[in-house]
Amino acid sequence: MPTHEPDCSCGRGPSVAQGKWYGVRSYLHLFYEDCTGASPDGDRDGSASHGAWAPLIWKVSLSTGILFLLVGAAALATGSLVPPKLEGIGEEEFMVLDMQAVRYNHALGTCRLVGMALCTAAGALGAI
């Protein structure tokens, strides 16, 4: 029946001090398994479970950053490339203010602002 040996760290190597000798191949195999967090018999123990979250967080933040960048670039392009409408129609004495044009131009400005904010958020997520 195999006994559970204490885990050895990368700096100590296998437990030679306890009278066990593994040979060159077994020594290197055990050394690299210890450094990657695997146990000598191939299965992982529960102590390395905190490391499983790091790739997930990295993937979620990268995906969210790319999504923010695409939506932000689309909003920024829409706000910048679509021409604004004339707000005032008429001459100096008789000026008519087109309220639909004012709301339309305000929406274009909002698109530019939201696009810049989303691109900034995407840059921050990419840096994290």
The structure tokens listed for 35 are: 């450094």
For residue 119, pLDDT over 90 is answered with: yes
Q: How would residue 23 be classed by pLDDT, with cut points 50, 70 and 90? A: low
Q: Please report where in the chains the tokens 């055990």 appear, as a residue.
A: 30
Backbone angles phi, psi at 125, to 5 degrees: -65, -35
Contacts of 123 (CB under 8 A, 6+ apart): 65, 69
Dihedral (C-alpha) 110, 113, 118, 124: value to the nearest 10 degrees? -160
For residue 4, pLDDT over 70 is answered with: no
